[in-house]
């Protein structure tokens, strides 16, 4: 039984490895924000925006980091999709007539007259 990795082109394989590097990097950031800062919370006693740093990270900072990580990953994957398949979904310019009917009349309304 063949795996899908044998059917991948070299460009797809490079893109997949690049994607895995992004995932590993973002998981490392997630691990640090979630576990490392919580582990050292007692030693992180300094004010950050008027609050103790450990409290701020737990209450707001981690959530902000998680949302930014999701946005960064979505942006990066959209960019990678555009780079690998630039003509996958071509969008015609606005106002260009491609000779189509565009729903202005239907056979049912023209035959009834």
Q: In the chain, what's the furthest Cα-to-Cα distance?
A: 84
Domain borders along the chain are: 8-86
pLDDT at 93 over 80: no
Q: What is the pLDDT of residues 3-58, one digit of tens each?
A: 555 688 888 888 889 899 999 999 999 999 888 877 877 777 778 778 777 777 77
Q: 41 with 55: CB under 8 angstroms?
A: no
Asked if 65 contacts 33 with a C-beta cutoff of 8 angstroms, the reply is yes
Torsion angle defined by CA atoms of residues 65, 66, 72 and 78, in that order, rounded to the nearest 10 degrees: -170
Contact between 19 and 77 under an 8 Å Cβ cutoff? The reply is: yes
pLDDT higher than threshold 90 for residue 71: yes
- The model scores a pTM over 0.75: no
- Closest by alpha carbon to 68, among 59, 76, 78, 80? 76
What mean pLDDT value characterizes the chain? 77
């Amino acid at each position: 039984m063949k795996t899908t990795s044998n059917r991948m082109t070299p460009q797809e394989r490079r893109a997949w490895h690049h994607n895995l590097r992004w995932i590993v990097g973002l998981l490392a950031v997630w691990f640090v924000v979630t576990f490392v800062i919580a582990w050292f919370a007692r030693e992180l006693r300094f004010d950050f925006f008027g609050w103790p740093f450990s409290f701020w990270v737990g209450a707001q900072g981690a959530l902000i980091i998680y949302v930014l990580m999701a946005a960064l990953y979505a942006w990066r994957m959209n960019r990678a999709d555009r780079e690998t398949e630039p003509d996958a979904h071509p969008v015609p310019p606005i106002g260009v007539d491609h000779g189509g009917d565009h729903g202005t009349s239907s056979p049912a309304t023209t035959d009834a007259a």
